[in-house]
Structure formats: structure tokens, C-alpha cells
């Protein structure tokens, strides 16, 4: 079953393109960033920028994968967030 009529990537892109004057996040929430090294949509430089902006607890740059890397690493991502 496909949610959002298969438009989830469109909604992701739309959200990323919206202007944000200020980034706010509750400091008590740990932030983990995962990014594929071969991601042509969200480059590693953006992941590194977000890691600094959010004071990320952990940043993972995964070699040899692209934009939808979470499909391959979902288990690792979930386990990391559960072990906070």
C-alpha cells in the first residue's frame, strides 16, 4: 500500500523548499542525522549543516547509497533512536 498516493517524496521536497527564518528545536530531544554519501537530492554538506544547527547527537554518512538510504538502514535507524 502506498500512502499519500505515492507523493511522499513530493511532500518532502515541498517542505524542504519552504523559507524558514529560524530553526527551533527542543534541546532535550536528541537529533540523529543519516545521509547517503551519493545522495544527489540532499547533499552531505546539508546534513553537516543540519548537524551543526541542531547540535546533533550523531551524524551518519553512509557510503555507496543515495537519497532513499533509510530503506536499507531502517532497522539501524530505529534501534539507534530507541537506545537513546
Is 30 part of any domain?
Answer: yes
- Percent of the chain residues topping a pLDDT of 70: 76
Is 2 part of any domain?
Answer: no
Q: What is the pLDDT of residues 30-70, one digit of tens each?
A: 889 999 999 888 889 999 998 988 888 999 999 999 888 88
Is 67 part of any domain?
Answer: yes
Q: What is the per-residue pLDDT for 62?
A: 94
Other beta carbons less than 10 A from residue 56's beta carbon? 16
Is 41 part of any domain?
Answer: yes
6-15 own/partner pairs: CB under 8 Å, 24+ apart: 13/41
Q: How many Å apart are CA 42 and CA 40, to the nearest integer? A: 6
Amino acid at each position: 500500500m502506498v500512502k499519500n498516493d505515492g507523493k511522499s517524496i513530493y511532500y518532502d521536497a515541498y517542505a524542504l523548499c519552504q523559507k524558514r527564518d529560524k530553526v527551533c528545536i527542543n534541546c532535550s530531544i536528541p537529533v540523529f542525522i543519516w545521509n547517503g554519501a551519493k545522495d544527489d537530492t540532499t547533499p552531505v554538506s546539508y546534513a553537516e549543516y543540519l548537524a551543526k544547527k541542531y547540535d546533533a547527537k550523531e551524524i551518519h554518512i553512509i557510503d555507496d547509497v543515495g537519497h532513499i538510504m533509510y530503506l536499507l538502514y531502517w532497522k539501524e535507524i530505529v534501534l539507534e533512536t530507541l537506545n537513546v
